[in-house]
């Protein structure tokens, strides 16, 4: 298969990317179609749809070239990284053909010198090769009564706080408002590895870093006895 375009997004790195689309609606992205698929005729009528299905390649996951790299069992982060399920019962990025499917919102189409689609709410890393675009049809594809297995509802949302230093960085940037939204939406999903999410209370010495836009957002988990875990942003520095 030949990619029809590539993604430029707020996610330069795969760590911290929401595990499902739509969980961080502040996330911006552009899908830039490449020749010969960048003909404006190819997207005629697409502006009438609000959401799109993108079929893409998990290009940062190891490519399966032989049976040794393929595993029938994976450890879903939703289950804490401890339980194993069949790969086809999960949305793991480690798949035999590395194919992904993401539902994104279309906010604009630029056909001045090629074709660029402006998207929000995606969960794709910059550089992701996109193989196909299809419009989303809510009357055919929205099934809220469907069973959702081991993920019956959205994950719990954690509170996020900012240190004075992080607040000062946000205040100094022209995109500080949207950046704050993005940081809160990404960290609220708790991007830490599953086995780190079940530690006992207390402030962790371990620090984590999530790359968003051109920045490295550094945070740690804090938890007082009897209180929920808080992810505290301690610094926002150039990536």
In a domain, 66, yes or no: no
Task: Identify the CATH number of the domain in which residue 126 sits.
Answer: 2.40.30.70
In a domain, 154, yes or no: no
Q: Are residues 123 and 168 in the same domain?
A: no
- What domain range is 49 assigned to? 5-61+98-141
pLDDT the model gives residue 3:
98
How many Cβ atoms from other residues are within 10 Å of residue 101's Cβ?
12
Query: 164-173 long-range CB contacts below 8 Å, 24 or more apart?
Result: 165/234, 165/235, 165/236, 166/233, 166/234, 166/235, 166/236, 169/235, 169/236, 169/237, 170/236
Q: Are residues 126 and 196 in the same domain?
A: no
Q: Are residues 132 and 215 in the same domain?
A: no
How many Cβ atoms from other residues are within 10 Å of residue 120's Cβ?
17
In a domain, 87, yes or no: no
Q: Are residues 106 and 188 in the same domain?
A: no
Q: Are residues 200 and 112 in the same domain?
A: no
Nearest CA to 89 out of 103, 76, 98 is that of 76
DSSP annotation of 200:
P
Q: Are residues 183 and 136 in the same domain?
A: no
Q: Are residues 113 and 56 in the same domain?
A: yes
Residue 74 tokens read as 């994976």
pLDDT the model gives residue 200:
47
Q: Are residues 12 and 108 in the same domain?
A: yes
pLDDT the model gives residue 201:
47
Q: Are residues 25 and 125 in the same domain?
A: yes
Q: Are residues 46 and 117 in the same domain?
A: yes
Under 8 Å between Cβ of 97 and 64: yes
Outline where 104-207 has alpha helix (H).
Answer: 138-141, 164-172, 176-187
Q: Tell which of 74, 107, 141 closes a domain.
A: 141
pLDDT digit of tens for each residue in the chain (239 aa)? 999 999 999 999 999 999 889 999 999 999 999 999 999 999 999 999 999 999 999 999 877 665 567 789 998 888 877 889 999 999 888 889 999 999 999 999 999 999 999 999 999 999 999 999 999 999 999 999 999 998 888 888 999 999 999 999 999 999 999 999 999 999 999 998 865 555 544 455 789 999 999 999 999 999 888 888 999 999 999 98
Q: Are residues 16 and 56 in the same domain?
A: yes
Question: Could you tell me how far CA 229 lies from the centroid of its own chain?
Answer: 22
In a domain, 72, yes or no: no
Q: Are residues 121 and 188 in the same domain?
A: no
pLDDT the model gives residue 202:
47
DSSP string, 88-101: GGS--S--SS-EEE
Under 8 Å between Cβ of 121 and 104: yes
Beta-bridge partner residues of 218: 209, 235
Question: In the chain, how many domains are there?
Answer: 2
Cis omega (within 30 of 0) for bond into 219: no
Under 8 Å between Cβ of 56 and 98: no
In a domain, 48, yes or no: yes
In a domain, 39, yes or no: yes
In a domain, 111, yes or no: yes
pLDDT the model gives residue 19:
86
In a domain, 89, yes or no: no
């Amino acid at each position: 298969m030949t990619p029809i375009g590539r993604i430029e997004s707020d996610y330069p790195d795969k760590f911290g990317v929401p595990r499902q689309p739509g969980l961080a609606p502040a996330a911006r992205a552009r899908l830039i179609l490449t020749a010969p698929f960048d003909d404006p005729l190819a997207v005629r009528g697409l502006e009438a749809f609000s959401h799109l299905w993108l079929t893409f390649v998990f290009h940062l996951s190891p490519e399966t070239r032989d049976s040794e790299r393929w595993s029938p069992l994976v450890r879903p982060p939703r289950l804490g990284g401890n339980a194993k399920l069949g790969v086809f019962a999960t949305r793991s990025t480690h798949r035999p053909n590395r194919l992904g499917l993401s539902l994104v919102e279309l906010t604009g189409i630029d056909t001045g010198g090629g074709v660029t689609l402006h998207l929000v709410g995606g969960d794709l890393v910059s550089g992701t090769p996109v193989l196909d675009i299809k419009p989303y049809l809510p009357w055919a594809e929205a099934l809220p009564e469907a069973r959702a297995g081991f993920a019956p509802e959205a994950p719990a949302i954690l509170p996020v706080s900012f240190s004075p230093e992080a607040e000062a960085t946000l205040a100094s940037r022209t995109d500080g408002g949207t950046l704050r939204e993005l940081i809160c939406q990404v960290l609220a999903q708790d991007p830490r590895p599953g086995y780190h999410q079940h530690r006992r209370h207390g402030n962790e010495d371990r620090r984590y870093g999530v790359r968003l836009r051109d920045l490295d957002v550094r945070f740690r988990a804090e938890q007082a006895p009897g209180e929920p875990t808080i992810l505290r942003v301690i610094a926002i520095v150039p990536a």
